[in-house]
Amino acid sequence: MNKKDLITYSIWEGVFLLVLLWSGSLAESAAYWPRMICIIGLTLSFIGITRCGVALFKEKKNTRESMFVLNKVQAKRAAVLLITMILWIILIKPLGFLVSSFFAVNFIVIYFETLKSRKKILLDLGITSILVVGMYFLFVMLGVRFPLGILG
């Protein structure tokens, strides 16, 4: 498991470093918390990398371990979620925030539903639809302007 942990810590180290570099373009007051979180994350990731590196160095076995952190089912679900989110972002402008959010959130909920009975799916569709519409109107009341797309 040490190789997988080393890869995971390295990926997080890269993410924190990238966000730290991006936060340099923010105003000093706005960049305070992102920088603080990145410094803590970089420190913890470095400690994890060091710990895993030492453990791998001490390990005398020549066992072959898979480098991929996720199994096939988890990788498929992560890919579906990533593609759905990318499509959601792309479709916000032409369809509008409300319509694209409605379809994306309902698709995600149905896809990840473990018990796929008709009653459960209809209940999930109803609840997520109410939540999406409710959140939309809450943000509109707060003055956030979303693209209207086909509704405007």
Question: Domain coordinates of the chain in residue numbers?
Answer: 2-58, 72-151
Q: Where are the alpha helices (DSSP H) in 23-152?
A: 28-58, 72-95, 97-111, 118-141
Per-residue model confidence (pLDDT) at position 108:
92
Please write the tens of the pLDDT for every residue from 45-90.
Answer: 999 889 888 887 777 655 555 656 677 888 888 899 999 999 988 8
Please write the tens of the pLDDT for every residue from 1-15.
Answer: 577 788 888 998 998
Please write the tens of the pLDDT for every residue from 108-128.
Answer: 999 988 888 889 999 999 999
Angle at the Cα of 45 from the Cα atoms of 41 and 47, rounded to 5 degrees: 120
Q: Are 144 and 134 in contact (CB under 8 A)?
A: no
Please write the tens of the pLDDT for every residue from 93-104.
Answer: 888 888 899 999
6 sits in which H/E element: helix 2-22
Q: Among 66, 56, 49, which Cα is nearest to 2's?
A: 56
Q: Are 88 and 95 in contact (CB under 8 A)?
A: no
